[in-house]
């Protein structure tokens, strides 16, 4: 059975964490560490929001892919597997009537 693309990408990311590959951006992120990875996740999240606000689906697709990739790097860095994410998503899918109240507005940071 073939892997889905997310699992396949995660496997490649994990292999980069174990073995350095010359000129690998993934290796660069692991070398820089958690703070750099978190910075990239934050940047990509913002870019997803901006692309969506600009109603640019082509750009949005690219930015979502960047966010997924950097999230997978974060997962590998902290030891979370795609299987753990899939299990949590399965649990959430089974919930019914789980409407959450609107969060209160944040007036100050």
> What's the pLDDT tens digit per position in 40-99?
999 999 999 999 999 999 999 999 999 999 999 999 999 999 999 999 999 988 877 766
> What's the pLDDT tens digit per position in 75-86?
999 999 999 999
| CA angle 87–65–33, rounded 5-degree value | 80
Boundaries of every domain in the chain: 24-90
End-to-end CA distance of the chain: 48
How does DSSP classify residue 98? -
Contact 96, 52 (CB under 8 A): no
Distance (Å, whole) CA 28 – CA 32: 6
Correct CATH for 24-90 of 3.60.10.10, 3.40.50.300, 1.10.287.1080, 3.90.730.10? 1.10.287.1080
Distance (Å, whole) CA 73 – CA 17: 9
Give residues with Cβ within 8 angstroms of 20, minimum separation 6: 27
pTM score: 0.84
């Amino acid at each position: 059975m073939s892997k889905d693309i997310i699992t396949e990408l995660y496997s490649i990311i994990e292999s980069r964490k174990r073995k350095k590959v010359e000129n690998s951006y993934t290796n660069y992120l692991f070398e820089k560490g958690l703070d750099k990875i978190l910075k990239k996740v934050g940047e990509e999240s913002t870019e997803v929001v901006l692309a969506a606000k600009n109603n640019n689906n082509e750009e949005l697709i690219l930015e979502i892919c960047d966010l997924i990739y950097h999230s997978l790097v974060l997962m590998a860095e902290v030891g979370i597997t795609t299987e753990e994410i899939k299990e949590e998503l399965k649990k959430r899918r089974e919930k019914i009537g789980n409407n959450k109240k609107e969060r209160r507005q944040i007036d100050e940071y």
